[in-house]
Structure 1
């Protein structure tokens, strides 16, 4: 099983187009030791040629251009993207679907019922694509059963419902539904290895911790360093919890959670990193602290093989 990070940033990318925080200003002017990042997305493959896209970010065209394996050029019109899973209906995870409209066959799209509702109403991406390539919808089960994607032989996928709010434009924004947001476990049937992916984690429920403890690779929420990060910078009135994210520091934070996972050889990687997060600074004290805990920071192009 091959996994590649297309984008490692939270919504807005890094630097964010309208942000002049210390991080964004520094990377823009070359005074900060940090890498530019596109908005979060990964791809998974069994053969290195056919890929399952997990979340279609607004940066998708730039991500395709940066990763030649996504354009194998086997015929006049071609793509290595065989199918797409969207884990929620947030703008930074679904608007890239519109960039796939030139397909000559319906786009295989794996979503929960709750996400399909949002993508048919509040943000009608599915309805728009019906006028272009069309969508071949596949339901993601939330009863513990695994599902497979034909282009990924030998790989099973399990979806875990997460506690989170639907997007602001969702008809059920104030009445959360099971499946508004999910985590994913990818299981290679040949190697027995497991990868757990959850770029948005607001609460560590027992079934989520169980999945994390059984994984050989963790790609998890690295959005904010402190609970009040956005408030302290004067950029928002919302805490990390208000935004549906678990900060890295503080009691019950992501560092503490990852420290509790003692599976031998497990790689612990933070992804979906907000432009304000000091862990973006390669030689900063926050990055050194993560290293002391055996925690990595994802970057665009980071690849894994399990």
Structure 2
């Protein structure tokens, strides 16, 4: 497929569901003049309990959809898809600027004082070769110990939209408390859904008298890397009179994605259900 290579073309962003909106928020803040398209692959979510082959197939399918709609660059705003599929996406489209999200192990290793870092992520992310290689590399360089905690079911609950639900509070206690007991003083939010329950995590920390714990969210770094790639490819849209557009697409329920835009980002873009 011929890639649109014009600065005025939109940036494509996708996730298994609404978690990538936490990354989209940073992209909009840093590049308010860029047109954006967001795909929530909610009809095939969650990715965290799927096979690597399944996630690769979904990532490639969504990438083709975004390219067919003129995307000049791609943000894989999903930790699981980044770990499982970004290599395949780059191999198929070597000319396309592609940014993924990785758990912030490096900034966490720099931030920890105890040397123990808790990592909350999906089971698929924590089992991925890409993640395990990153952990080994940073552990060897920094001597930081990474305590891995799969947060089974948390993405599903966040997708339902009630971020203050008792089920979410119970899961956060279940998953965060053991990391605190093992001495973690830094927690990596290793899934783009998790920043939306940051206040719930902070309540768990407070209940355990651990307000000193540092939370690591990599959305800001992802947006900066996107800007570097666009600038290198001469694809940054010049700031000017252009009113940036945002369009949402979902393989699930359009009303649910529209509600997520409103609740999580206070935005009301057009949202369309698509068969990808």
Structure having the higher strand fraction is: 1
TM-score with structure 1 length normalisation? 0.30
Structure having the higher helix fraction is: 2
TM-score with structure 2 length normalisation? 0.32
